[in-house]
A = this chain, B = another copy of it.
Amino acid sequence: MNPSEHDLKFMAEAREQARLGLEERGVPVGSVLVLGDKVIAHGRNRRVQGGDPIAHGEMDCIRAAGRQRSYRQMTIYTTLSPCMMCAGTIVQFGIPRVVIGENETFGGNEDFLRARGVDVVVLGDPGCKALMDEFQRRYPDVWNEDIGVD
């Protein structure tokens, strides 16, 4: 499905989360969990800020949403394509739609998601990519750690 105006608006919110993360010297990945046109939660990668290895953007967002009875009408926005942890989580929680800012910096789990019935939209957003480019230039070690590269 093509991105809607809603999608672009919510991706802008996710990108703002990523920008805040970079300001904090963290990995600039932001996420928003949405039901209809209502934001349920915002999140961003807090590995560095919180010393928390599982706090990728999507995880931080889902955690911030607290316990939900169902995710089956929700969309999750993420500035960067989900890693295997986050992709597994999206499938486990039954989130049916993922809108991805960019998948050039990191990607590869889109097919896993689609095979499990998740609708995946990739926007190819240059603003999301620019944040990651700047981060990788500044902190290459943290980036490798975040994606599980020794």
Contacts and interface: CB of A to CB of B under 8 A. Distances in A.
A55 B86 CA distance: 14
A53 interface: yes
A53 B65 contact: yes
Nearest to A58: B54
Q: Count this chain's copies in the assembly.
A: 2
Interface residues of A, number: 32
A70 interface: yes
A47 to B, nearest CB: 7
A87 interface: yes
Nearest to A149: B94
Interface string A37-77: 00000000001000111110001001101111111100000
A93 B62 contact: no
A94 B59 contact: no
Interface string A84-95: 111111011110
